[in-house]
Structure 1
Amino acid sequence: MANSDGSTPDLATEFAQQDGLLYLNHAAVAPWPQRTQDAVTEFARQNVFIGARDYPRWLKVEQQLRERLAWLVGGVSSEEIALLKNTSEGLSVIAQGLEWQAGDQIIISDQEFPSNRIPWQALANQGVEVIEVNLEGDNPEQDVIDAMGPRTRLVSLSAVQYGTGLLMDMAPIGAACRARGTLFCVDAIQILGALPFSAEQVNADFVVADGHKWMLGPEGLALFYCRRAVQDQLILRQHGWHMVADPGNYTRKDWRPAATAKRFECGSPNMLGAHALNASLSLLQDTGMDAVADALQQRVQRLIAGLNDKGATLLSAPAPQRRAGIVTFRLPEEAPGDTFQRLKKGGVVCAERGGGVRFSPHFYTADSVIDQALELL
């Protein structure tokens, strides 16, 4: 793991959490690195003492963020990246932007977080049908493909399911969609920042993800990737000064949408969030996503081995090719809610999800944090 200058990130300094805190909840809201606090503090200081005098410099930070997000999504063009408020907004831009016909079908899974279910269900008044595919079979990817038919207009799936942590192989699904002319949307909030990902390799038309989980950033700022070739298929439902081709010309009466994904950003940017997320992504970029993934998988395996020793029932798939950073389990003869409360009293930050207790470490999580959490079981 090396910084861009060749030095190694000091993870103990970057994540100096308080004593007694056992943080295993990155699949919900992650702590910030120290460099992110520094970036926000400096941004606040500038606002206090000089206001927006150096706004052009802030715009460079925003552009750097777009480039880092483009890198995180597999090296796409930064012009295909929009900065939206959250995953739900990004999915809603797609849902409300496409022209639907009565009888159109959308395929999702039966394990989706509400963000990737409600925007599609809200189209029922237009005659759009949502089909939920069960993912508990031996080949969930093929089950999704088999559910596709002549009326399937879009497939929208989470790359990693939030409850069980199931990691989907998105490539064959994306290939099937592309071959049939079906749009493919990836909810990537549980994979970006945890594992390497490529929008182009999985043939994604859209990728949406908020930055507050594995990307280690703040809530309120999300990646929205729209493949250039399908950009014009989305009707713009939100308009404002920021989404036009010439946003600096305030007196111009005639206007047209920006030719880039900025057309989906109707108003002033979340510049505070941009400074924060840009700093957080710099740590992932300095470390390298392959190194991040390797370190995370070591911690996941340590958790799985410890849970097996405790006699826990693993609700997450044990196979390495089926897991990202989520480990969900339950203990025999104890309700998950009771296990969760007991862990909470012991200083463990985790979640009750997917019918059990969900642990989600990150690449920097100390072995001692994992071992102490296991001891509490």
Structure 2
Amino acid sequence: MYEFHDEFPQEPGLRYLNHAAVAPWPKRSSEAVRRFCETNVSCGARDYPDWLKLERTLRERLARLLNAPSTGDIALVKNTSEALSFVAFGLDWRPGDQVIISDEEFPSNRVVWLALAAQGVEVVEVSLKGADPEGNLLAAFTPRTRLLAISAVQFASGLRLDLQRLGQGCRQRGVLFCIDAIQQLGALPFDVQAYDCDFAMADGHKWMLGPEGLGVFYCRSDIRTQLKLHEYGWHMLEHAGDYNRQDWQPARSARRFECGSPNMLGAFALEASLSLLEEVGMVRVGELLEQRVQRLTEGIRALPGASLHSPRSPERRAGIVNFSLAGWDNTALQQRLREEQIICIQRGAGVRLSPHFYTREQVIEQTLAVLTQVAKG
């Protein structure tokens, strides 16, 4: 098996369980950025053509990660929120149109739709409680429903949805399907074609192990031209680089959503991070992550006074374990764990732990040992 632990030479004693927020980079990403910076210092942009080759490689890796039909379906964006805004303010809404979301969404996938109220768009928030959250969402559809916008994995509870079922339901009803993929992409296999989605987006700084400031936007080719553009510049043109051309048109590819100069520094880091995920393989990444989530789940359930707020069944979770302890305020509990170098965060009903595939087993066991001490007072 590929030896990947050397890629994460973390500070001794650190127990990093916060990948659902901001992840550490692998060593190769740091080295890629260092080389890029040194080249800038010594040579400026002399090697820009090589930088563009790396950007193409990044698009290819992202297309494979999402199983997109083509790199032409991939746009490099600042973050998830920007991509969601491209969809929300690109579609031609009619007064009375409905957007279905859940009542557990991260603000990025809620506020952007609420901001459409001035156009007469109604946002319907659906509960994911119960044994059939997908059924709840699909049952909320009406003849006025235009789009379903849902997170693949809910940021607080860690609930993972059956995206294939939702995609089929949307297609049968003529409803657009938009997936906030930030809590699944890089943690588990992801497949835009199997999910039959129209849009998917994610930041690179969580499970993809990349930097902040660079993400991916998948836009289905047959709907791309239906999104009105609100950002214009040299990079989004079909003939980008032909600076003397007087006529212009947006790129036919998803590059039409990239108005100006690329985040080349971020591209070097993210491309290196994705190369690691590809070497390990996303199926193996998912298996290793599930082992760590399962051990945390079992250990926490055994603690006196513990309440688990995340799904117990493997098919309903990705990399998030959310819990609370009787007698502890969640913020105080997070701070107590931080004193032990257990890096986690308070979210939703409890404290959220989020390991990744490379997290050493000893980190999991040490975390459970600390929690045992804390639970016993």
**Same-fold call, TM cutoff 0.5:** yes
Q: Does 1:362 align with 2:348?
A: no
Unmatched segments (≥5 aa) in structure 1: 2-7
1:75 Cα offset (Å) = 4.3
Contact 2:68 2:218 in 1 (8 A): no
Q: Output aligned runs, 1:177-326, within 5 Å.
A: 177-311=170-304, 312-326=306-320
Q: How many angstroms apart in 2 are the aligned matches of 1:334 and 1:269?
A: 46
1:376 Cα offset (Å) = 1.4
1:229 Cα offset (Å) = 0.8
Aligned-residue identity in percent: 57
Q: How many angstroms apart in 2 are the aligned matches of 1:227 and 1:348?
A: 40
Secondary structure of the residue aligned to 1:255 is coil
Question: AA paired with 1:327?
Answer: V
Aligned to 1:72: 65
Aligned to 2:345: 351
Secondary structure of the residue aligned to 2:292 is helix
Q: How many angstroms apart in 1 are the aligned matches of 2:222 and 2:186?
A: 26
Aligned to 1:373: 367
Aligned to 1:5: none
Aligned to 2:330: 336
1:371 Cα offset (Å) = 1.2
What whole-Å deviation, never above 9, does each CA across 1:181-227 have from its counterpart, x for those lacking one? Answer: 21100000000000001001011100000000000000000100000
Q: Does 1:129 align with 2:122?
A: yes
1:11 Cα offset (Å) = 1.9
Secondary structure of the residue aligned to 1:201 is helix
Moved more, 329-338 or 130-139: 329-338
Secondary structure of the residue aligned to 1:249 is coil
What whole-Å deviation, never above 9, does each CA across 1:81-101 have from its counterpart, x for those lacking one? Answer: 000000000000001101111
Which of residues 68, 82, 88 is equivalent to 1:89?
Answer: 82
Aligned to 1:50: 43
When the two structures are superposed, what TM-score results if normalisation uses the length of structure 1? 0.97
Question: AA paired with 1:352?
Answer: Q
Secondary structure of the residue aligned to 2:194 is coil
Runs of 4+ in 1 over 3 A off after TM superposition: none
Q: How many angstroms apart in 2 are the aligned matches of 1:223 and 1:12?
A: 26
Q: How many angstroms apart in 1 are the aligned matches of 2:69 and 2:159?
A: 25
Q: How many angstroms apart in 2 are the aligned matches of 1:181 and 1:53?
A: 50
Q: How many angstroms apart in 1 are the aligned matches of 2:296 and 2:70?
A: 37
1:12 Cα offset (Å) = 2.3
Question: AA paired with 1:150?
Answer: P
Unmatched segments (≥5 aa) in structure 2: 372-377
Question: AA paired with 1:296?
Answer: L
CA RMSD of aligned residues (A): 0.8
Question: AA paired with 2:302?
Answer: D
Q: How many angstroms apart in 1 are the aligned matches of 2:28 and 2:332?
A: 36
